[in-house]
Structure 1
Amino acid sequence: MNGLLILRGWMVAINWYLVKYVPDPFRNEPKNIGVVVEAEGRGAVRLVGQKGDILDGRRVRGIVRSSRTLRAWLEYLEYHLESGSFREQLERLSGRSGQNYLIEPRGVLLNAPDATIKEIAEGLFQELVGESTSSDEPSIDEIANTLLYRRLKVPQGHRIERNVVYTVELNGEPHDVGFDYRYENGRTTLLDKITLSPQDRIIRQKVHDLLFRIEHVREDLKVKQPNFVTLYDLGKTRESGPVDSYLRAIERFSHTVNVRDRRAAENVADALGVPVLQSA
């Protein structure tokens, strides 16, 4: 499909979004189930249980209530991403409340010349959602949530928020950029997760996206002197050597914490200015 290819050699700004499922809109506890990547209304979607254009209902049992509804959502998104009407539909959906499915704007990417939108969507999906496996090893999401919500003693009256979005100016137009967490206590600290695996084909795009969001929020006058913390995982290799250049680029603008380091909780606590709970 020609609409899914990024023009070779061009620096094309593309948007990406998280697709979330909310089992109970009243409790509002969403979970990530997919990713959309688009440029000028056209692009690609990757959802849990999806293989190509087919959704395997057996693979989404226990994740969503109805595989039939999720399949309808996949067809709906694919139609509008192919026809170029995705952004118009997103505006219509954003005005509704109490929905089980949400599409959350997350940021802007500048693609590498050798990547397609489908490849970018797949890479973001594997990092932020992933398919369930039999492995007992916790994901970066699980480790980060444990560090922030079970290992730190946040002062009374304060909390660590999830999935925060800021509207910034991009080429004279408003644009939403998101971060995974926010902590405020005299100063705003924004935290984001990233997997830095040497085998990841879109590692450059992911790092660029993170730095893009940091840069634009730093320049935004609504957030005074923000602090940034990047929670990173080195993937299966656990070796930092092949990704040192990316780490150095991030460290110019953000604290960095390896989530699997034995002192990860202490390092996050230092960055936030809060104590660590001694009993993990």
Structure 2
Amino acid sequence: MTTSWFTVKYVADLMRDEPRNVGLVVKQDDETVTKFLGERADGTIDGRNIGRINSVETYKLWVDHWRRVATTQSCEELEAIRVRPGDNYFLSPRMERVFGSDVDLGDLAGDLFASLVAEDREEVVSLKDQVEGVFKHLALDTSVEIDKEIQVQVEGDTFDTLHFDYLYRADSRERLMERVNLATADRRTWDKVHAASWTFTRLLEGSARDDARDVGCIALVRTGSTDRDQQLKQMRLLERTSEVVDFASTSSAERKLADLLVPA
């Protein structure tokens, strides 16, 4: 699947013409992810974490502009408007690469941002690395199985095979976990939410036939700065069949995972 991206560039002095990368726009079909220096989990900008910028307030306005334009314009339309004479902020020429269909665009954008934009003052990690880093910090990394396949009884002698990102097992307790990156709030994100919700429901219905097992589900999500209302709806849907842990704040996610997984 072809992924396109533009780096957002800033030139402090137009006469010197020394651009600096301050943001990223990543597009794949109708899915878009934007990331900027200084961006907090809730989408606001921390002016202390963007380096040397002539005006933080102007930077924030340009961030709002490129977020809006990126989510409403195609790659071809972005190419047509990426540079305007006299502007301190502009987009680089479009770059493209073919990635596998199973690549999460939010995680891919994080990796691209880390290599193209992020500076030493920021650490940008994928949701996968974030989750597994918390497992390690909680000393659960040896107790959590990765890419787990589970057989569940559907009816009679009929079984279904379900796939989960993680399985944590302690005595009779089993907690199955799926990563769902909500930072890209669009139709494909809804597809991932629906898939996770269906998988959780299928597991719980099949596990209900086994009284000896204590089975539960955990959705490991990360919210972003775009379309907060839609992300809240997605989280409510996931909460119907699972505990939801939001990695927008790693420390908060770690505390909640500790409550859910670490034996008292």
TM-score by length of 2: 0.50
**Larger C-alpha radius of gyration, 1 or 2?**
2
Provide the TM-score with structure 1 as the length reference.
Answer: 0.47
